[in-house]
Chain A
């Protein structure tokens, strides 16, 4: 399983829990106050409630339902309100996925056998990600058909507003994907971000209008 983009670094705001879906796997993504990024199965080990509904306490994630708390980094359960003194089995742990932050994006792999990250520009600025109600392969085919240069099966590049724009496709579910963009530029990104948001919205309207 290789790494796929699931969010931009900016998406992981302080004390927020971000929800992503990668290849049908629902993921709770959160940044601890010390900067650590956690990518966990979006399922509380207790009764299966979505952890993305939980509370980011800064160093732990608290499940909304019964308040079990899981440590940043290890994912280990460290507090059970109904048994404040009781020993907690060491096996009680949120299921973690390998996660890497690079070039302004956050990448997750579902297995341990992780291939290399896509090669990305050093100083890129993330664009607004665009969820599309079509499978990743269909969007890859559409971008290739529109003449974009393929840098990988789910990685394309084009020139917009004088900058190189990388488009990386996250296969979300079997029927949906999210397109993450990176612009290879260092300053004054807002006009290009706006232009790309408009352009991608209009592409999405066309893609989703097709049966």
Chain B
């Protein structure tokens, strides 16, 4: 059975829990206390995850420690053509772009939220300014997507793991004092993600 080492307030962990729920997969949750115990920095956890990052997915011999890798694996292994368009090189490229975008969001909006909540050092003003730049780009992309009849970050009728990876950082952005009022197309997209069958919440996130 898949095991997930995770912390319940982690946005990255939530992306994985959300995707596992959308796929309807069972898994064993192994809580790691990120704050205040900083268990992820202990020797035991580093043996599993040398970067000391959460979440970590273990499936048999396979150990994955980054959200992009975990979501890609789950999509390819369990998602079928809906979540893993194996023959569509362009779409796979776009999904890769979207996953990289989620990493930029993690480093800005995500970092500011953690720094605020857990008193970590960070240049908050710079991170918020960069998050705002990313959100403006995403809002424009989604606005023109809507105009073309597309509901998701990558064109096409179905959401992709790019949506799943970006969603937690954006929906939780206000916890890091990044208001979403200026991104109406993003706010509509958040509603659409919430309405996906199987959607699950985490603390700070509402359902549909």
Interface check A182, CB cutoff 8 A:
no
Neighbour of B143 across the interface among A19, A64, A128, CB < 8 A: A128
| Given A53-B206, A193-B147, A11-B184 contact (CB < 8 Å) | yes
Closest Cβ–Cβ distance, residue A45 to chain B (whole Å): 20
Find B206's partner among A16, A64, A190, A194 (CB 8 Å cutoff). A64
For chain A, which range describes its interface: under 10, 10 to 19, 20 to 34, or 35 or more residues?
Answer: 20 to 34
Are the C-beta atoms of B181 and A190 separated by less than 8 Å? Answer: no
Any B CB within 8 A of the CB of A207: no
Set A10, A20, A53, A194: member contacting B144, Cβ < 8 A:
A194
Give the A-B contact count at a CB cut-off of 8 A: 38
Partner of A190, one of B140, B147, B184, B188: B147
Number of interface residues of B (CB under 8 A): 16
Q: Which residues of A contact B208 (CB under 8 A)?
A: 55
B interface, by DSSP: helix, strand, loop or mixed? helix
Q: How far is the CB of A138 from chain B (nearest CB, A)?
A: 17
B136 contact set on A, CB distance < 8 A = 201
B143, B144, B181, B188 — which one has the most chain A CB atoms within 10 A of its CB? B181
Bound CA span A16–B187, Å: 9
Q: Which residues of B contact A197 (CB under 8 A)?
A: 140, 143-144
Taking the complex as formed, is B177 at the interface, i.e. its CB lies under 8 A from any CB of chain A?
no
Chain A, 123-146, CB within 8 A of any chain B CB = 128-129, 131
A95 interface hit (Cβ, 8 Å)? no
Residue pair A15, B191 in contact (C-beta under 8 Å):
yes
Are B191 and A21 in contact, with the CB atoms below 8 A?
no
Q: Which of A185-211 contact B (CB under 8 A)?
A: 190, 193-194, 197, 201
For the complex, give the distance between the alpha carbons of A72 and B46 in Å.
55
Q: Which residues of chain B are near A149, meaning CB under 8 Å?
A: none
B residues contacting A by CB (< 8 A) are 136, 140, 143-144, 146-148, 180-182, 184, 187-188, 191, 206, 208
Q: List 13 A-B contacts (CB under 8 A).
A: A10-B146, A11-B188, A13-B188, A15-B191, A19-B181, A19-B187, A55-B208, A129-B184, A190-B144, A190-B148, A194-B144, A197-B144, A201-B136
